[in-house]
Amino acid sequence: MTVERTILLVVGLVVLGSVLLAALHDIRWLWLTGAMGAHLIQASFTGLCPVVMALKRMNLPSRAGFA
């Protein structure tokens, strides 16, 4: 598993989890989905993502782009 694939997995799990919690528990869980979307936009411009930094500290290999 590479950093790029792991970050896609983490984002997907957070988004699906928050949507399920919104449907089954409380609609306010959709704020988490919105926050994740805002963070993805911010990270695309700045390159700063705490999850990526943590995954790199775990010595996961990294590959450029989606090959």
pLDDT digits (tens, 9 = 90+) for 13-52: 999 999 999 999 999 999 999 999 999 999 999 988 888 8
4 pLDDT tier (thresholds 50, 70, 90):
confident
pTM of the predicted protein model: 0.80
Please, how many CA atoms are within 13 Å of residue 65, restricted to the half-sphere of its CB? 1
Tell me the three state secondary structure of residue 4: helix
Question: For residue 30, what pLDDT is reported?
Answer: 96
